[in-house]
Structure 1
Amino acid sequence: MQVAVWDTYVTKKDGSVMHFDIIAPDHIKDSTIIYTFGKDYLQSKNQGNQPLTAKECNFCHIEKATDEMVLSIQQKGYYIIEMQNCN
C-alpha cells in the first residue's frame, strides 16, 4: 500500500509546538479529509481546539506503508507518526 505523508506542526495550548506526520492512503487528495484526521488525533491529545489548516499541515511525500500503518488505516483511516512534543 502506498501512503501520503502530511507534515504537521500545531501550536499546543501551552505554546509549545507539536510535530507529527499524518499518514493516509495516497488516493486521498482532499486536504479537508486529512485535516479531519489530524483534528481527531489532536482531540485524543487534549488539543482539540487548536487550528489545523494548510498553514500547519502540508503534503510531504509518498512512501510504502508498514504493516503497523496499514492496520491503523484499516481501523481508523489514518496513522500518526509522533515526532516532537506529542505528549
Structure 2
Amino acid sequence: MECAVYDTYVTKKDGRIMHFDVIVEANTPHEKAIEYGKEYLESVDQGGQKMTQEECQFCHIQAAPPVVAKDISQSGYYIQKMEGCP
C-alpha cells in the first residue's frame, strides 16, 4: 500500500508543541487527513486545538510498513507519534 505522510505540529492546551505524522492511503484527500488528526487530538484530550492545512502539511508518499497498512485498513489512518505526544 502506498501512503501519504502529513507532518503535523499542533500547539497543546499547555502551550507546548505536539509533533506527529498523520499517515493515510495515498489517494486520501488532505481534508480527510486533517479530520483524522483532529480525531487523534480528541483521543488524547487535546480536542479543540487548531488543526488546519498550516499545522498538517503533506510531506511525502511511501510504501506503508505492515503495521501501518493494517491500521489504515482498519481505521483509515495511522498516527506516528514523535515529540510531545502522550
- TM-score range (shorter-chain normalised) is over 0.9
Task: Summarize the alignment of residues 59-78 of structure 1 with structure 2, pairs less than 5 Å apart.
Answer: 59-78=58-77
CA displacement at 1:47 relative to structure 2: 0.3
CA displacement at 1:43 relative to structure 2: 0.5
Give the aligned residue type for 1:6. Y
CA displacement at 1:74 relative to structure 2: 1.1
Runs of 4 or more off by more than 6 Å in structure 1?
A: none
Percent identity among equivalent residues? 48
Alignment partners' CA distance in 2, 1:63 and 1:32? 19
Alignment partners' CA distance in 1, 2:40 and 2:21? 11
Give the aligned residue type for 1:46. D
Task: Summarize the alignment of residues 3-82 of structure 1 with structure 2, pairs less than 5 Å apart.
Answer: 3-28=3-28, 30-82=29-81
RMSD: 0.6
CA displacement at 1:53 relative to structure 2: 0.2
TM-score (norm 2): 0.97
2:2 aligns to what?
2
SS in structure 1 of the partner of residue 51 of structure 2:
coil
Structure 1 segments unaligned to the other structure (5+ residues): none
May I ask how many residue pairs the two structures share in their alignment? 86
